[in-house]
Amino acid sequence: MSTQAQWAATMFQKHLAKWGQTITLRHITRIGSAPNFVINPPNVSTLFTEHAAPIGTSDLDLVAANGASVQGFLAVGDLIAFGDDPTPYVIQAPVVAAFNRFSSVRFNPGLSQAVSVGEPVGLNYLADQSLKAWVRNFDIRYLDGDLIRSGDVLVQVPAASLAAAPAVGDIIFAGSARRTILSVDTVFTGDEPTHFEVHAR
C-alpha cells in the first residue's frame, strides 16, 4: 500500500473508531444453479438437537423449532455451540437443509458434554464479520422512489477491515435493522481501495 493510501486508510479508521457504528456484514455464498441455488448462511440463528448424544459424538441431526422452515446450507468453518457447553464446534463438511433439518452435521472436536433431545444449538457463521462503519440515510434530494427509496441507507465500509469485499446480495445488520446490499462502489486513493460505499435496503 502506498504512503498516501495508508494515511487515508488510517484516518478513515480513526474517524470510524470514534464516530462509527458497529455493523455485521454477512457475505452470502451460493451453491447450485439459479433458481434452485441454496445459500450460506441459512435462514436460522438457532437450531435444536433431534436426538440425545453422548460425549465424543461428532455428528448430529439438527432441526428448527416447532417445524419452522429451514433453507440454506451450513458451510465448513461455521461454528455451533450446544446449550451451556462453552466449547465452539467447527463444521467439517457442508450440509444442505432438507425437510427442515440438517442431517448428519459433522463437527470437530467431538462433544465434551452429553446433549439431550431438544438441546438448543447456537450458530455463528464464518460469513459474518463485525466491524465499524458509517451508516447514514440518503439526502432527501436523492430519493426518487425507485433506485433510492425512503429508508435506504448509505454505508461506508473500510477496505482494510474486510476479509472480502462486500457484494450485491450480501446482508448488513445495523442495530435491529437487516438490509440487503443493492450496489457497491469502491473509493480509491491512488490505486489502492480505501473504502466501499454501499447502498443497502
What's the confidence (pLDDT) of residue 190?
82
- Domain final residue pick, 124, 159, 192: 124
* Residues in the chain with pLDDT values less than 50: none
Report the CATH number that the domain containing residue 62 is assigned in CATH: 2.40.30.290
Whether residue 186 sits in one domain with residue 143:
yes
Percent of the chain beyond pLDDT 70? 97
Q: Does 33 map to a domain?
A: no
pTM: 0.83
Total of domains in the chain: 2
How is 20-85 classified by DSSP, letter by letter? -EEEEEE--EEES-TTS-EEES-S-SEEEESS-B-TT--EEEEE-GGG----SEE-TT-EEEETT-
What's the confidence (pLDDT) of residue 163?
85
The whole domain housing 132 covers 3-28+127-200
Q: Does 35 map to a domain?
A: no
Report the CATH number that the domain containing residue 173 is assigned in CATH: 2.40.10.270
What's the confidence (pLDDT) of residue 160?
83
